[in-house]
Amino acid sequence: MKKIIAFLAIIVTATIGMAQSLPTDAVQFIGTFFPDHQIQNVAQNSSSPELTYRAELDSDITIWFDNNGAWKMVESSGSDISQLLSAKQKESIEGQGLNPSNVLNIKKKEDRTVLVVFNDGYACLLDAAGNFLRKVNL
């Protein structure tokens, strides 16, 4: 029993330590949009100012953040990440006959557009206001 308690204490300490290695805004983002998930791994990439931190959650979700903790990309292997889309973005996606729940990847681009990739290989580009711009070939 003592071994189990010690093991759980190590896991809790490691998770807290990983969260502390992220900027505050990144930790708040995860807590807001993924409250039921735990941070499993955090990596820092000093060679890319756009994608400085990578946080892997206990599910199949990976989130990239910039220096300030603003999210830049969220990737999933199957979990629903549609909660990151605004109502306008969801409306634009549904207007193309697509299901926002099938989104696997959302990437904010430097020009303020948003690239959305679906589990069927389809991808589209949305403008900063959430309007559909065009289909994208990957």
Domain boundaries, the chain: 1-75, 80-138
Class of domain 1-75: alpha beta
Task: For residue 10, name the pLDDT band (cuts at 50, 70, 90).
Answer: very low
Using only C-alpha atoms, the chain has a radius of gyration, in whole angstroms, of: 17
Q: Half-sphere exposure of residue 130, counting CA atoms within 13 Å on the CB side?
A: 13
Q: Mean pLDDT across the stretch 1-22?
A: 46
* CATH, range 80-138: 2.40.10
Contact present, 126 and 92 (Cβ < 8 Å): yes
* Integer Cα distance of 76 and 61 in angstroms: 4
pTM: 0.80
State residue 117's pLDDT score.
97
